[in-house]
Each structure stands twice: as structure tokens, then as C-alpha cells.
Structure 1
């Protein structure tokens, strides 16, 4: 196994450079009516910007690490990744619906996963001018400054970003109740908001994918939080199945309470 202190920080630098290039390319299409297609039986949009950003990421990353596997939302899956100890996990634009609608909350999500867990990750939100980064055993940073998940505060409700039915389903279980904030169209960015303390927690509906989660999972972990199943287990990435069950995310001191409050929502 490579030395994490050296190898993963170098991989993080590689991810950040590639994400910045991909984000800049996506901005060329932003608010300019890019071509849009529909996949997954018409349930999920993909734009010309997604493909252009994906092409840049694939070229930049695999040319530098040709022995790594590749898993991206916008590339046909190759089962060969399962034979790789280390894999790039990529969403060229997380929040495509927001991107198409001209809203600012979307990001490039890029991670390195080693033996099933993320070891380097970046979220780049070019329209907001924000870069979230983390490597294994290093701090979580936002634009170069350390970030931390929030601590419990009995004096106010828990600030949650979650689908309305799920937020209502846990409200009576949380001390002080739940204050639900407005919809956040990018799942990865929503998890970053937990990492930097703007919100206290979130719930994730089932069928989120590796590429939505891997980079944000690491950033949240290094910020003193966690993303887990409703059994309290950490996630494993680069499996044959790349979708996940219902999840919860919060700072470490809140997480077990949130999981307990949300356990009856399993399967949502």
C-alpha cells in the first residue's frame, strides 16, 4: 500500500487541478442553453457540459495514473475497475438539473478510492468560487481554510437539508425539533454544507451513487463528521453495485442520534 501521507496528498493535488479545468470548461456552457439529453428512462438529464467536463477529467487523471480504475456517472461502466485497488470516482457535474436551470449550486466531484474507501477528494463549485478538499489523515479545507461540522446545540432546532417527508419523519425524535432549510440541488454540495457547519445534518434517499458521495464523504469525515447507513455503518465504494441505501450525515456528536431518529425511514 502506498504511504498515505505522500501518495494521497499528491493524488489530491492531481484531482484539484483536473477539477478546476473541468469546472472552467463547464462554465463555458453555463447559462448558455447547452444541449440536454435524458437517460435512465427519461428520469435524469445530462448536458453537453457534463460530457465535456468528463472528457477533461478522464484525460487529465488517467494520463497521470494509468493504473487506476475509472468510475464516472458519464462513462459506461467497465467491470475491470473491480480488479483495481485504487479507482477514480467522478461526477463531472453534480447537480445537473440546477446547472441546466442556471442555478449556482452545482459542483465537480472527484475522488480517489482505495480498497473501498475515499482517500482524496475535491468538490469544486466554480459558479460559487468554492473548493472543498481533503486527503486521508489531512484536514478538510474550504478555499484553503479548515472547516468543521457543527456541534449539538440544545438551544435551537437541528438545521436539516432533507426531502420534506423525511424531515417530517424525524422532527419529533430530535431535541428541539428540526428546521428544514431550502432544497439543495447538489447532493455532494449538501454534504459539504454539513462539513462546513452551515447545516447540522442531512438525510439521503436510497439510490444515491458512488460518484455523488465519495468525495463529499471524505471531506465530511475529515471535518469531524460522518456519512453512514441507517445501521450506522460507513459506506464502501467500488463495488459491483454502485448505488446505496438510505443514508444519514452529521457531525460526529450528532450522528448516532440522527441515525436513531431516522432508522424508521429505511428504504425511503
Structure 2
């Protein structure tokens, strides 16, 4: 599942190496994060309201030391690193969230993960999402499928809307509810990357990302959904582009191909105000 050169135009001879490097690095990063989980960690708020802990920084440093030294010509974008826009000029770039779901992590819940993607020409070609607390390792390679702990996964088929199998901001999902009655959504998942991966492994029929998500929340899970016979786009149906100067995204939806097309059409007919 992690060999071959499908989906990589500029570095075909390196893709197998990069896949192995990514897998090993994310597993090591997950082990480090798990070793610090439910311990007394220093934590603080960055920006307006985003929590960060010394575990986020330690995991980021481990990932950076391994990936950047092995691939010095690639760009680098991480939630916990200062942004260097020189990455935009690189044909390939690593996009990293050392701990996605830091609030859940600090609260002692298990719905957090390490998420890393390799992006080439604005699209992910390799992606790994590892939830070490539940021992779930998702991996995808462009053109080669998506895998959970070595077994192929697939998004659910059909176009029906069972709201108990849809995750995301309730006011947004409510717009899909033509009956207008009360709906009960799938319980909140602290990590956005994991929420999206639940579409890939069929535990969810669809998932939404509210506005203000970032490249590092999305890139690996996007590929995992795509390679699991799913689609993930903006509500308009437009593809998501990565490693641009602007790394913040609007509202997004992920689902199996047919259900995704149906949801996009609904929003096209009844756009958000």
C-alpha cells in the first residue's frame, strides 16, 4: 500500500521512500504524543483561542527533525512552526498538524491524532492520520487507495441522509433537513482530521468542516477520503488547494461520491445566507 509511484509527477523515484518515511515518522510522533498523554503538561493559548501544549511542540520537533532532514528540498507548513512562505515556491511540501484535537488531548479524551500529508502542486499525494490512543493508523497514497491498520477502507454509498451518521456544526447540517424537525447528530469528534477519516472508514456517511479550518487540519484526511471512493470539497464543489499563501478554508463537506454530489446540489439550490 505504500509503494509504487502513482500520483506523483515530479518525484516518482522518491515516492516509495517518502511513504515509508511518512509512516515511520507519524508512528514515532504518535508514540511520543501518547507517552505524554494524561500527564501534567504546560499549556497556553495562542492567537485568540487556540490551545497549545508542550506536547504539541515536542511532537512538532520530532516530525520536523525527521522529515526536513530527509527531504531538504521540500517545503514545510506546520501549525506549530513559524510560516516561511518560501514553501509556496516548492513543488512538494509537508503539511503537518502535530496534535490535531489539542483540546481533546488536554482533556484526556481519545479523539485526537497526528496528521501529516505530502502535497505536490496544491494536492495531497501521501497522507497519514494516526490516533494512537485508539491505535488507528490511516494511510493513503494518490491512486493507491486508503487503509486503516493495513485494511482497505471505503466511504459508504448512496445519497440518503441519516443525521445520526453525519458530523459537523449542527446549524450547518440542519440546512439539509427538509422536514425542519429536530435532528440528532453523531457525537462531536475533537479532531477534524479524525472526523473526516470517519467518512473514509464508513463510520460516518458525511462530515462537515466549519469555516476557518487550515491546511494542516485537512490535507491528509482529504486524500484519505478521496482514495476511499469519497469526495471532499468546498460547498460549491470546488476542489481544495493546499500550500498556497492563504491556508485558511471555508465550509467543506466530505462524503461518498454520490452523497457528496447530492449534498453539494442541495446547498447550490439553497445557499447559505
TM-score of the aligned structures, taking structure 2 as reference length: 0.91
1:193 to 188, 195, 198: 198
CA RMSD of superposed structures (Å): 2.1
1:218 pairs with 2:229: no
Q: How many Å separate the matches in 2 of 1:37 and 1:229?
A: 32
1:241 pairs with 2:246: yes
Is there any run of 5+ residues in structure 1 with no aligned partner, and where?
none
1:98 pairs with 2:104: yes
Find the residue that maps to 1:213 and give its secondary structure. helix
1:29 to 25, 33, 36: 36
Q: How many Å separate the matches in 2 of 1:197 and 1:178?
A: 20
Q: Match for residue 85 of structure 1? A: 91
Q: How many Å separate the matches in 2 of 1:211 and 1:78?
A: 15
Residue deviations 1:131-164, cap 9 Å, x none? 0001111110000000000011659557200111
Q: Match for residue 151 of structure 2? A: 145
Distance 1:91 1:155, change over 3 A: closer
Find the residue that maps to 1:255 and give its secondary structure. helix
Distance 1:39 1:152, change over 3 A: same
Residue deviations 1:153-212, cap 9 Å, x none? 6595572001111121211189xx965111111000000000001010011111100000
Q: How many Å separate the matches in 2 of 1:213 and 1:265?
A: 23
Distance 1:173 1:236, change over 3 A: farther
TM-score of the aligned structures, taking structure 1 as reference length: 0.93
Q: How many Å separate the matches in 1 of 2:158 and 2:241?
A: 27
Q: Match for residue 6 of structure 2? A: none
Distance 1:188 1:154, change over 3 A: closer
Distance 1:155 1:259, change over 3 A: closer
Is there any run of 5+ residues in structure 2 with no aligned partner, and where?
1-8
Q: How many Å separate the matches in 1 of 2:133 and 2:159?
A: 32
Runs (4+) of structure 1 exceeding 4 A deviation are 153-158, 263-267
> What is the count of residue pairs matched by the alignment?
264
The 8 Å contact of residues 160 and 259 in structure 2, kept in 1 or not, is answered as no
